[in-house]
Amino acid sequence: MSAVSRQVVVLQASWEFADEVIKRGSRIFPEEELKTLYACIQCGTCVGDCPSGRRTAWRIRHIIRKTQLGMREAVLSDETLWNCTTCYTCQERCPRGVATTDVIRIIRNIAFEEGYALERHLAVARNFAKIGHAIPITDEVKEKRKRLGLLPVPPTTLSYPKALSEVQKIIEIDGFLKKIQR
C-alpha cells in the first residue's frame, strides 16, 4: 500500500461513556471514588496481578482504556468483561488508586441491563430466580454435606421456602425476572 493510498483512522475519543459509568455507579459507590477512572495511565499493574488474567483472556486495562475512550459498544459486548472474579486485587494494587473492580461491576450492570449478559450467566440467574441458588443442590451434594456434618441443604432459601417466595416477589417487582427470561 502506498503512502498516498493509506487512510488514517482517527479515533474520536470521548469521556461520554466514562461519565455514564460514573453517574450510574454513583448510586452505589462514592462518585469521587469512581472518578478515579479518569486517572488510569495504563501502567499494567492491574493486569500483572490479576488471578483471572493468568488463566483467561481477561485484561482489565483494555476495558478501562476503552471506557476512557468512549468505546461503549466495544466494552459492553466484550465477552471477557465477565471473566473478572471481583477479587479486588487490581484495585488494591493500583498505584493511581483507580476503582477498577467497582468500575467493572458498574459496566457489567450496564451490559446486563442492555442484553449483553452471556447465556451461562443468565442460566445462573434463572436458577437463582427459581430456587434461590445459583447452582442446584443435588442429592450427591446433600450426601457430601451430611458426611461433613452439615445440614443436607444450607440455611438459605432451600431451608426457608417463605424467604424464596419473598426473593421471587422482589425480583419480579424489580424487573429482574423479565431481564433473565429473554
* CA distance readout (Å), 4 to 1, 7, 10, 174: 8, 8, 17, 57
Q: Residue 60's pLDDT is what?
A: 92
Residue type, 99: A
Domains of the chain, residue spans: 16-113, 119-180
Q: Please report, to the nearest 10 degrees, the dihedral formed by the alpha carbons of residues 48, 35, 114, 51 taken in order.
A: 20
Class of domain 16-113: mainly alpha
Average pLDDT over residues 47-70: 92
CB 107 within 8 A of CB 81: yes
Q: Quick one: what percent of the chain has pLDDT higher than 70? A: 92
| pLDDT for 121 beyond 60 | yes
pTM confidence score:
0.78
